[in-house]
Amino acid sequence: MAEPHVAQKSPYAVELAAGEYWWCRCGRSKTQPFCDGSHKSTEFTPVKFKVEKPEKLWLCGCKHTRNQPYCDGTHKTL
């Protein structure tokens, strides 16, 4: 299995409105932490997630979290 590209070694703090979003899993997107379709030449697919109400979330930037798409601190061990 391929390893994702580490987009950054810290989470992305994002304020999101209610709705559906696609988190970049491959690490190649130019619109981090969201998918822009760059994964199409890889074995990765984005992760769809839903936000029920406006809130601030910490989305994984290193792409190695075990709680996709949310940061779990894994970046501290890379």
Q: What is the pLDDT of residues 58-67, one digit of tens each?
A: 999 999 999 9
Whether 53 and 3 have beta carbons less than 8 Å apart is answered as no
Which residue reads 């940061």 in tokens? 71
Q: Residue 6: what pLDDT?
A: 97
Radius of gyration (Cα) for the chain, nearest Å?
A: 12
Q: Which residues of the chain have pLDDT under 70?
A: none
